[in-house]
Structures are given as C-alpha cells and as structure tokens.
Structure 1
Amino acid sequence: MSRYAMIDVGGKQLRVEQNGSHDINPPALIRGDTSDSDFDTEVSIHRVLVIRFGSRIEIGRPWLDEATVRGRISRRCFGDKKLIGGVHSERDKDGTKKNSRYRQNQVRLLVDSILSDGKKV
C-alpha cells in the first residue's frame, strides 16, 4: 500500500514516507552553532498538507487538524553548491568578476511515524 504525507517545512513542501530520510533546512530550534552530539533530537511537524493511505486521501485547508509527522534530526549535511551572481572585487585592477559559491546548511530528518487524528497511519 502506498502511504505518504505532504508536509510544509522550511518554506518547502516535501513528500515524506515512514522510515524515510529527507534533507531539510534546519528548524529554528536547532539553528546556530550546535555540535553533532546535540543531534538525535525528536521533532513533531504539524504542518501536514495531505495524508494518503491506500485509496484514502485526506486534504487540509491549508493544513490537516490533528495530523502530525514525527521524526528525528540525525545529523548536519550540506546541499549542492549554488552560485551567487558575479561579485566585483574592490582591489582588482582589471575589473574582472569573481563568482562566489556557497552551500546551504541542512539537516537530515528521519521520519518515524505519520499520525492522523492521533492514530498511526
């Protein structure tokens, strides 16, 4: 049977399945300079948009009441390198552009359970 939930986390909508892992932008509670030993934090996400279990589909407006996705934050990871537009160097005599790149800080979310009305789906 096909079971999944659509959640809104970090300004993005993700399709998550039970026992799956996803890279997300870190929630506010774990942002900052925390060491990897502080991880394995349990989180509950209440912004659940859709839950599908077999042929039954529940759609929220905008979110489902009493629906929760529970999981753990396991470790830090980084996204792909992204290009920030051309950056002019102040000391460059030729006026050439330098391309600056960065990696988005992310964390790995391991989904433990999908709950609808307090019952496991």
Structure 2
Amino acid sequence: MKDSSKGARANLNNLNLTDMVIPKSQLENADMAGADFSGADLSGSNLVNANLVRASLYGTNLKGADLSGADLSDADLRGANLTNANLEGADLWRANLMGCVISPTALHKALSCKKE
C-alpha cells in the first residue's frame, strides 16, 4: 500500500535550473538526475535521499543542506559551498569536488571514514 502522506516524488530530471534561488527547499527523495543547478542557491534545503546522479552543482550554494543518503555519483560539485552540509551516507562515486568548500568532517562522514 502506498503511503499517501509522503506525496509524489518530485521529478526534475535533466531540467535547467541554473541560478535558481530556492533556499530551504523540501526535495527529499526527489529525482534530479542530470539536472543543472549551476550557481543556484539551495542553502538549508532538505535533499535527503535525493537522486542527483550526473547533476551539475557547479558553484551551487548548498550551505547547511541535508544531503544525507543522496546519490551524487558523477555529479559536478566544482566550487560548490558545502559548509555545514550533512553528507552522511551520500554516494560521491566519481563526483568532481575540485574547489568545493567542505569540512574534513563532512567529507569523512560521506566516505564512511572511521576515527582511530
């Protein structure tokens, strides 16, 4: 039985959403594979378990966003601001993180690194 209280899963596949200003968006479980969010403001957004495979997040403001469990494989995160973002359990397989702002702690959580 489908849980109607959760609503439909947003489908933003391959959309051009460059420079959009949509902070604190509720995009939990959204399917955004291949979407272009270059230069967008998604600060403080709920992106838990979102599908962002091959998404362009070049220069995107993801400050304080919850990306836990998100699939960011093959995503372009060059120059993105990931300050205080939650990346616990996020899939960063082949994601381009060059020049992004990210804390070592957040990166370790995303990569499931263990403390010694």
The TM-score bracket by the shorter chain reads under 0.3
Instruction: Give the structure with higher Rg (CA).
Output: 1
| TM-score normalized with structure 1 length | 0.22
- Greater strand content: 1
Query: Which one has more relative contact order, counting CA pairs under 8 Å at least 6 apart?
Result: 1
